[in-house]
Amino acid sequence: MTFKEHIAIARRAWKTAYEWDKGYFLSQLGASLLSAATPFVPIYFSARVVDALFDGAEAGRAALYAALAVGITFLLKLLEAALNAVKSAASTKAFQREGWSFAEKAMEMDILTAEDPETARLRERIRMESQIGFNRFYLFHCAAMIVSSLTRILSAAALSASFFAMDAVPLWARLGLLLGVVLTVALSAYAKRRETEINNKFHRESVGANTYYFSFFNYVKDLTGAKDIRLYAMRGFLEKRGFSEFRVFFESIKRASDKAMIWTLPVSAAGGLLRIGLYSALLFAAFAGGITVGSIARYAASVLLLLSGARDLVSALEREWMNHEYLARYFSWFDLPNRMKKGTLTVEKRDDCDYEIEFRHVSFRYPGAEEDALKDVSLTFKIGEKLALVGENGSGKTTFIKLLTRLYDPREGEILLNGVDIRKYDYGEYLGIFSVVFQDFRLFPFPLGEVVAAGREYDEERVTESLRKANFGERLKDFPGGLRGYLYKTFDESGVEISGGEAQKIALARALYKNAPFILLDEPTAALDPESEYEVYSNFNAIAGDKTTVYISHRLASCRFCDKIAVFDGGRIAEVGDHRSLLEKGGKYEALWNAQAQYYRENGGEA
């Protein structure tokens, strides 16, 4: 990283630190300043008390100095405690703000970027580096160290300046002590840099191991794996696998620690020699009668605090410099571009709901894939039609839905809404015309009414009607808390742990509540029992109404009610027609139909 890049990262880091967490930032700096300055109050006044006693001054003067030492220290500590209280409360807000900023970025990120393995690795590396103390909150630590160090340096310099000007200590001794301070600080800085290089190298090389351990522990702790671990007696295997990997990692930690420790020895030795020289000079001046007894303690403490302040300042600046590498990666997450074109055209709100969708020679390939998931797909369907997409796993059906809803954009070709490329429409408005239930849908652990309405405020009658249409009406009657009852126990102990089939019904109700012109259903009854599945299919026309419905299913018998069936094969549309015409055609659809029909005939015969 160049010097210019370091400066740019530093400016951005300090700016965002102040803007995001002003209260935390200022209270931490203020508390650090007071913490560093407070020790100098008793140092100064204690020396005055001792000198007053040795000079035979009135007892009142010594008492005054003692009272000032205690009183000022108490007030500074009181103020520091108040700032620490502010900092403690503000830190919670700061951490929440940071967590939400990552969530915001994830929600606005285009799906293509979100699903890119490189994006996942970047987020995981940032998380790991944050756990070991780097990134944005490490900036606050460095800032506090810098403020504390500068405060100690300035305070110590003010209290010890007269020592380096007194004639009672030979000039060569004073210059030697100054040189000793400079050399000790320089040696400390060099040692810190070498130690930092060792630690940086270790952290860079351990990212993969940290990721492995995090995933490993998550798997072992995750309750979804508990059944497998017990049924297959995997505990011993997991222990051996885990500890064999951990042993290698811990050995690398020990090697890095041993190398870093070597550089602390010369710094400690230099500091010890400097203390010997300082006390020798003070004793020489005291025996020569050029220094008071109280000043001995004052100068000794001040010079040593000056040394520690200078060393800590160098260390803080070194750490701040080192943190820039991590901050650059940290900010790169927020700089990930959104590659989805947002568009500006308004989606026409038609009273007649006359919409037409056309796929025109569309091809698409997932990141890192060697082949297209969709290949030269062309298809047209209009409002009110019931379209079924069928085909084997991996044939491109779900990809078709994701392109239609602009979770991805085509690599080739275009998708048109009423003759206009959908990329030209306002992104949010375009998404508003679709209600979708994917295979991997997500229900949040909120009250049932809010989940169906996807919002805090909702029409209870509409929510209830949507649940009834989705065949959840009977379950709603005895659902604890009704529409205000929580799903799952994540946020409420009284929450209901619903089954997969019940979750699928609620997801369907959510799609119906949105009341969009298009309903897109990806295996909407996969988790339902046969009776519930039959009821959904029997009432499907009443459920969908005059809306356009695109329906994905592997159960071909459920597609007979659809106006049009598109048969996918290897990323292409092999056939298009209704159920009867496709059976008469004798192609891919008939082969799939006969394969499923044969299965049911054989099972029926056995029964």
Per residue in 288-315, pLDDT (tens digit) is: 777 777 777 788 888 888 888 888 888 8
Question: ∠ at Cα 231 (228, 234), nearest 5°?
Answer: 70
The pLDDT assigned to 272 comes to 83
pLDDT higher at 383 or 380: 380
CA distance 122 to 328: 12
Q: pLDDT class for 381, splitting at 50, 70, 90?
A: confident
Span 95-120, mean pLDDT?
84
Inter-residue contact 561 to 555 (CB < 8 Å)? no
Determine if the pTM surpasses 0.75.
no
CA distance 49 to 43: 10
Q: Report whether pLDDT(367) > 80.
A: no
- To 10 degrees, the CA torsion angle through 75, 80, 83, 88? -140
Per residue in 175-220, pLDDT (tens digit) is: 888 888 888 888 888 887 787 778 777 776 776 676 677 677 777 7
Among 137-151, 408-422, 454-468, 531-545, the least confident range: 531-545
Q: pLDDT class for 607, splitting at 50, 70, 90?
A: very low
| 565 CB-near residues (< 8 Å, 6+ apart) | 387, 388, 389, 390, 559, 575, 576, 577, 578, 579, 582, 589
Most distant pair of Cα atoms in the chain: their distance? 120
Query: Percent of the chain at pLDDT above 90?
Result: 16
Span 6-13, mean pLDDT?
87
Residue 122: which H helix or E strand, with range?
Answer: helix 117-131
The pLDDT assigned to 332 comes to 92
**In the chain, what are the domains?**
3-334 (1.20.1560.10), 343-433+518-607 (3.40.50.300), 441-515 (3.40.50.300)
Among 118-122, 262-266, 351-355, 517-521, the least confident range: 351-355
Alpha helix ranges (H) inside 232-383: 235-262, 264-287, 293-334
Tokens 């400097």 — which residue?
274
Span 53-67, mean pLDDT?
81
Sign of the alpha-carbon torsion through 584, 589, 592, 596: negative
Phi-psi region of 355 (alpha: psi -120 to 50; beta: other; left: phi over 0): beta
| 61 CB-near residues (< 8 Å, 6+ apart) | 52
Span 415-426, mean pLDDT?
91
SS3 of 510, please?
helix
Per residue in 121-166, pLDDT (tens digit) is: 888 788 877 776 677 777 777 888 888 888 988 888 888 888 777 7
What's at 462, amino acid-wise?
R
Q: pLDDT class for 605, splitting at 50, 70, 90?
A: very low
Span 36-60, mean pLDDT?
82
Buried b (16+ CB within 10 A) or exposed e, 46-71: bbbbbbbeeeeeeeeebeebbebbee
The pLDDT assigned to 606 comes to 43
The pLDDT assigned to 223 comes to 67
Q: How many C-beta neighbours within 10 Å does residue 485 have?
A: 16
Strand pairing partners for 204?
none
Buried b (16+ CB within 10 A) or exposed e, 170-179: eeebbeebee
C-alpha distance from residue 517 to each of 107, 385, 388, 423, 527 (Å): 24, 11, 17, 19, 25
| 439 CB-near residues (< 8 Å, 6+ apart) | 398, 522, 523, 526
Highest mean pLDDT among 71-75, 343-347, 394-398 belongs to 71-75
| 592 CB-near residues (< 8 Å, 6+ apart) | 390, 391, 392, 556, 567
Q: Report whether pLDDT(43) > 50.
A: yes
In the sheet that holds 434-437, the strands lie side by side as 434-437, 518-522, 548-552, 386-391, 564-569, 572-577
Summary mean pLDDT of the chain: 82
CA distance 471 to 504: 10
Inter-residue contact 515 to 472 (CB < 8 Å)? no
